[in-house]
Structure 1
Amino acid sequence: MKSFKFKQFEIQQSKNVFRVGTDGVLLGALANISNAEKVLEMGTGTGLISLMLAQRNASAKFLGIDINKEAADLTRLNFNQSLFKLRLKNIHQDFKNFDTDEKFDLIVSNPPYFEESSSEKDKLARQTIELNFQQLISKSSKLLSKNGILSVIIPFEIGENFIELASQNQLFLIRKINIKGIKNSKTKRLILEFSLIEKPLEESEFIIEKSPRQYSDQYLELTKEFHVFKEIRS
């Protein structure tokens, strides 16, 4: 399968692993990594998000986890071929069983969000078969450092449920980005960030396209250090 080239790294892809997509790019470009020293990514897929974050933070160290062995192997390949390889590690592991005394300043995930169905396409990456929101949130709350952040991208429709589950696990919503596919459309995705410490909520809006298949100035500015193409790719 054709690789995906960014300015400072290249992503090898596989038909059996969730491919490079806009959700991953947005989370990789928008997650708050400014003060993070240790980063954990749950469900690495190709390794895209961690690679983008490694480019944004030149000192942070990363650990990626994926329950899918093929995805874990692919991530490891992409990590090892990158300029940031000395700061990147990936393991084949079920996040629910991940056990460590280490605490992380940022836990980031583009998690499975569809209910289990008969579809076989990207089953582990897209469907809540091996990991549901409650499991992701409760585990993350135990792994965060005192000032750590949990950062996720999810569909708008399930945002309130995710926020409520986080609250039940003593995680406070501190940042919310409402993502629209095109100007004047409904919000389609949310980037949500949570902390163990209550802080004033920062809320903003992000528009991907100004017109069909024409990126917005906001998107072009956000991704200018990553993308090498001008037109939208599906």
Structure 2
Amino acid sequence: MTSNISLEELSLCGSPYKIYQDKSKFCFGIDAVLLADYAKGIHGKKICDLCTGNGIIPILLAGIIKAQEIHGIELQKDIADLAKESVTLNNLNDRIKIFEGNLKDATSILEKNTYDAVTVNPPYMKNDSTVKENPISIARQEIHCTLEDVLKSSADLLKSNGKFFMIHRPNRLGEIFILLEKYNLGARRIRLVQPKKNKKPTMVLLEAEKCLHPELIVEPALTVYKDSGIYTEEINEIYRRNKKKVSLDKEATEKVSKMSLSG
């Protein structure tokens, strides 16, 4: 492993596990932690995470829910490979499998209409042709997949009554609701996320259900920071969830040691 690779403890992110991150690529943030927590009520055995990146959502979910099959799809090979390393590190190969590919081809990679839930933290911004393509811009902008691609592939993977969880930007909500309707996904609940009380929301959490159109629940906004700049009690509660220890196998421990020496 190169000196750009770091090993992150996830105990403060509500998970008992660890994860490799490449500091030269797009690293996970609070949005991934919030999405995993929002999806913590998932019931079912088979989950798929699209735009999985370094595997943060599958690994966080593995510490929260009981699902025995958690699949992740990642477009960029080196990032997908890093996710696989993290899965092995945490002895989760029996529960998590990472697949390299474009989510637009999800049903060519995975079985259609078989997933109990799909999660996704997709690129938030529409493609800007003036921005050079690189690992970070691919994660942030709709260069290789659009919002519609995300919704279509999610609907294709889900079984009837399967749950869909996504975090996105509030300014895309109009488009999101149109696409949910188009692909027969009924919005069940949404929650806006604001940096501080009375500040403009910067993220939105959403849950929908395939083939059902329930009454939409608009939950109270989630505030990230107090006026003093420290996390609110609710954010602290999310970050403290499931702080239990797991043991790493001998091979994984040796990998950690080698990585530390290479840095």
- The question of a shared fold, defined as TM-score above 0.5 by the shorter chain, is answered with yes
Relative contact order (C-alpha < 8 Å, sep 6+): which is higher? 2
**How many residues are treated as equivalent by the alignment?**
228
TM-score in terms of structure 2 length:
0.81
1:109 corresponds in structure 2 to 120
2:144 corresponds in structure 1 to 130
Give the C-alpha shift of residue 33 in structure 1. Answer: 4.1
Give the C-alpha shift of residue 9 in structure 1. Answer: 1.0
Give the C-alpha shift of residue 58 in structure 1. Answer: 2.5
Among 238, 251, 255, the residue aligned to 1:222: 238
Residues 123, 141 of structure 1: alpha-carbon distance in 2 compared, 3 angstrom cutoff: same
Contact 2:40-2:61 within 8 A present in 1 as well: no
Query: Hey, what's the Cα distance between the residues in 1 that align with 2:235 and 2:187?
Result: 24
Q: Which runs of 4+ in 1 moved over 6 A?
A: none
- Aligned: 1:176 with 2:190: yes
DSSP-derived class of the 1:57 partner: coil
Query: Hey, what's the Cα distance between the residues in 1 that align with 2:91 and 2:104?
Result: 30
Greater C-alpha radius of gyration? 2
Query: Hey, what's the Cα distance between the residues in 2 that align with 1:186 and 1:5?
Result: 31
Output aligned runs, 1:40-59, within 5 Å.
40-59=48-67
- Aligned: 1:80 with 2:94: no
Residues 80, 33 of structure 1: alpha-carbon distance in 2 compared, 3 angstrom cutoff: farther
1:202 corresponds in structure 2 to 217
**Cα displacement string for residues 51-74 of structure 1 (whole angstroms, at most 9, x for unaligned residues):** 111111123311110110011101
2:258 corresponds in structure 1 to none
**Cα displacement string for residues 158-189 of structure 1 (whole angstroms, at most 9, x for unaligned residues):** 12211111112211110101111111211110
**Cα displacement string for residues 16-64 of structure 1 (whole angstroms, at most 9, x for unaligned residues):** 4320201111111112543121100111111111111111112331111
Query: Hey, what's the Cα distance between the residues in 2 that align with 1:210 and 1:78?
Result: 33
- Aligned: 1:4 with 2:8: yes
Name the structure where helix makes up a greater proportion of residues: 2
- Aligned: 1:152 with 2:166: yes
Query: Hey, what's the Cα distance between the residues in 1 that align with 2:138 and 2:125?
Result: 10
2:99 corresponds in structure 1 to 91
Residues 60, 213 of structure 1: alpha-carbon distance in 2 compared, 3 angstrom cutoff: farther
Equivalent position amino acid for 1:200 in 2? E
Contact 1:4-1:20 within 8 A present in 2 as well: no
TM-score in terms of structure 1 length:
0.90
DSSP-derived class of the 2:63 partner: helix
DSSP-derived class of the 1:20 partner: coil
Give the C-alpha shift of residue 141 in structure 1. Answer: 1.1
Equivalent position amino acid for 1:202 in 2? I
Query: Hey, what's the Cα distance between the residues in 2 that align with 1:176 and 1:222?
Result: 17
Aligned-residue Cα RMSD (Å) equals 1.8
Give the C-alpha shift of residue 116 in structure 1. Answer: 2.0
Query: Hey, what's the Cα distance between the residues in 1 that align with 2:222 and 2:174?
Result: 19
Contact 1:44-1:66 within 8 A present in 2 as well: yes
Query: Hey, what's the Cα distance between the residues in 1 that align with 2:49 and 2:116?
Result: 11
